[in-house]
Amino acid sequence: MSGLARAVRVLAVGWVLQLKILAVSAFDGILNIVYPLFFATCALLMFRQNGDPQTLVYAGLGAAVMGTWSAMATSASGALQGQRWQGTLELLVTAPTRVALAVLPITAALATVALYSLVATLIWGRVLFGIEVAIVSPVGFAVALLVTLVSLATFGFLLSVTVVRYRTGWALGNLLEYPGWLLCGFLVPLDLFPEWVRWIARALPPTWGMDAIRAAAAGRDPWFDTAVCAGLGIGYAALGAFLSERLIDSARRHATLALT
């Protein structure tokens, strides 16, 4: 088996395994779908007061994608700590493959849960608020959504390895949830923020992904935003792979992998 085929196999098998684990996890599985619904409900109730059906559609789509960030920021930050609690972090790190290939399936599985969250929120908005999100360009929409989720997975991967030596990484993840919801353009247009805040927002893949999804739904050209989102995702994956080797190697060298 070639190196590439082995890598793909590790990613695929790891993704299925992690997805099975998440499927029975009340916190990382079910809550990641339910929790954003409360915030989406609040936001939709607020936008409904406005009385403009178009802004409600804008909010419906944004609220749906909002949950994807939630699944990633909170859970990915605590992903390696979770492995530590279960006593499997050392096994993961000493597996005869690159650390990135062992960790990326965790965040890829979280991104898959995020897709569930998105669909659940779209159905929620349709049933409770009567929001019909018309998708003019289904292909562009599907590609934009897929690229957004993959970019989120790589961003989550970077996040998870960055906090490997931070015992309370989950608290950092919780902290990132609101800023992500605020900055990625899910419910608040970026032009409401000062310029320096917009620069931060533009460094986050979901900002571009959200723009691409909206563009595809409205029938505009989504490809530039999709490409930027993909580029950022690849960049974060490369940075994550680079850091994962160094940070985890450093943790092994200083005997701080277990942290307990």
Partner 1 sequence: MTGRHEVGARQGGIPAARRGGIRAAWRVLTVGGVISFRGLFNWLNPYIYVPTMLVSPIFQILLFVYIGRSAGVGSDSFYLIGNAVQYASIPCLFAMANTIAGERWMQTLGIVLSTPANRVALFIGRSLPVIANGWFVATFSLFAGARVLGVDLPVSAWPGIALTIAIASASCTGLGLLQAALALRVRSTAVLSNVVFGVLLVFTGTNVALDTVPEWMASAGRLMPLTHAIEACREIVAGASLSAVAPLLLREAGLGAVFAVLGLAALRWVEAQSRRHATLELQ
Q: Which residues bind partner 1 (CB under 8 A)?
A: 26-27, 30-31, 34-35, 37-39, 41-43, 45-47, 49-50, 55, 59, 166-168, 171-172, 174-175, 177-179, 181-182, 187-189, 192
* Residue closer to partner 1, measured from CB, 42 or 258: 42
Cα–Cα distance measured from residue 142 to residue 23, given in angstroms and rounded to the nearest whole number: 23
* Residue closer to partner 1, measured from CB, 123 or 175: 175
Sign for the pseudo-dihedral over CA of 82, 85, 89, 92: negative
* Residue closer to partner 1, measured from CB, 50 or 256: 50
Q: How far is the CB of 41 from partner 1 (least distance, A)?
A: 5
Q: How far is the CB of 235 from partner 1 (least distance, A)?
A: 25
* Residue closer to partner 1, measured from CB, 170 or 208: 170
Cα–Cα distance measured from residue 116 to residue 90, given in angstroms and rounded to the nearest whole number: 30
Cα–Cα distance measured from residue 13 to residue 175, given in angstroms and rounded to the nearest whole number: 31
Q: How far is the CB of 194 from partner 1 (least distance, A)?
A: 12
Q: How far is the CB of 40 from partner 1 (least distance, A)?
A: 10
**Contact assessment for residue 165 and residue 247, using Cβ atoms and an 8 Å cutoff:** yes
Distance of CA 24 to the CA centre of its chain: 19
Cα–Cα distance measured from residue 139 to residue 137, given in angstroms and rounded to the nearest whole number: 6
